[in-house]
Amino acid sequence: MLDALTVATAVAALALAAWCGFAAYRDQPTKDWHFIGMAVVSLLATVQLIVGIVLLARGEKPDQGTTIFVAYLIGAFACIPAAGFMSLAERTRWGSVTVAAGGIVLAVLQVRLYDIWGG
Amino acid sequence: MSVTSQSESGIKPQKLTSGPGTLLVWLYGVMVVGAVSRSAVQISTEFGHAPLAYSLSALAGIVYGFITYSLVRGGEKARRAALVCCAAELLGVLTVGTWTLADPSAFPDATVWSDYGMGYLFIPVLLPVTAMFWLNKARRAAA
C-alpha cells in the first residue's frame, strides 16, 4: 500500500515539475490549472502521511527508524504547499521554476521514503 | 536609471526575494530543514558515532538558516551579510568535500557537505555560487 502510494506520488511530483518547468520555459507564472495540479499532488502526500501513521500505529516498523520516517513524511506533506504559496507571491516565471523545483524535491523525498521504509 | 525590459530587479533593487530570489529562498529553506532536522536527529540519538560529521551538519544548518533569513529580510546590510555567509558556505563545502575524499576515516557517517554535497544532488556546492551571482546583481541594480 505504502509502496504504491510512494511511486504514485513520485510520478505525480515529477509530472508537476515538468508541467511547471514548461510554464517557466514559456515565461508564464503558475495559473489556476497548475494550482489544481499542486492540490492533487499535495492530496497524494496527505494520504501518504495518513497511511504512514496508520501503519506505524498498527505496529509496523520502518527499516531505518520511526523518527526519520515521520520526519520525511511531514517534509513530503509540506513540500508542495510551501512552494505553491511562494509562487502565489511571485507572479512571474520564477514562481513556476520554484514549484518545478518543489516537485523535484518531493520526488527525491519519495525515493528516500522508499529506502527508509525498506521497500 | 535605465531598466531593461526583462529585468525586474531594477524596479525594487533591495528586495532580494523577487524573481530568481524566490527560487533561492525555496532551495535554502529546503536545505535548512534538511540539515537542521538531520543533525538534530543524529546528535540526539548517536552523537558519539561521528561527532565531527554531525557537528558540521549542524553548522551547515545554522549557516543556511542565516542566509535564508537575510534573503527574506532584504536591504543592503542583509545582502552583504548573506554574501559573506555564501562565501563561508562555499568554502565549507569545498573544504569538507575535499576532506571527506582525502581522509574518509575521519567521517564514519556522512555530513551534508560530504563529497561536495553529492547526497543532496550537489545543491550545496551549486547554491552558494548561484546566490553570490544573484546578490551581486542586486547590488548593481541598486547602484
Phi and psi torsions of B46, nearest 5°: -145, 45
* pLDDT the model gives residue A119: 60
Q: Which three cell numbers stand for residue A29?
A: 507564472
Q: Tell which residue, A75, A81, A86, A62, has the closest CA to residue B30.
A: A75
Determine whether the interchain pair A98/B29 forms a contact, defined as Cβ–Cβ distance below 8 Å.
Answer: no
* pLDDT above 70: residue B4: no
Global pTM value? 0.90
State the helix-helix crossing angle for B20-46 and A93-117, rounded to 10 degrees.
20
pLDDT tens profile B47-106: 999 999 999 999 999 999 999 999 999 999 999 999 999 999 999 999 999 999 999 998
Helices (runs of H) and strands (runs of E) counted in chain A = 4, 0
Q: Which three cell numbers stand for residue A44?
A: 497524494
Determine whether the interchain pair A90/B22 forms a contact, defined as Cβ–Cβ distance below 8 Å.
Answer: yes
Contacts of B21 in chain A (CB under 8 A): 94
* pLDDT the model gives residue B143: 66
**B32 at A interface, C-beta within 8 A:** no
**Mean pLDDT rounded to a whole number for chain B:** 88
Contacts of A75 in chain B (CB under 8 A): 33, 37
pLDDT tens profile A35-88: 999 999 999 999 999 999 999 999 999 999 999 999 999 999 999 999 999 999
Q: Nearest C-alpha of chain B: how many angstroms from A58?
A: 24
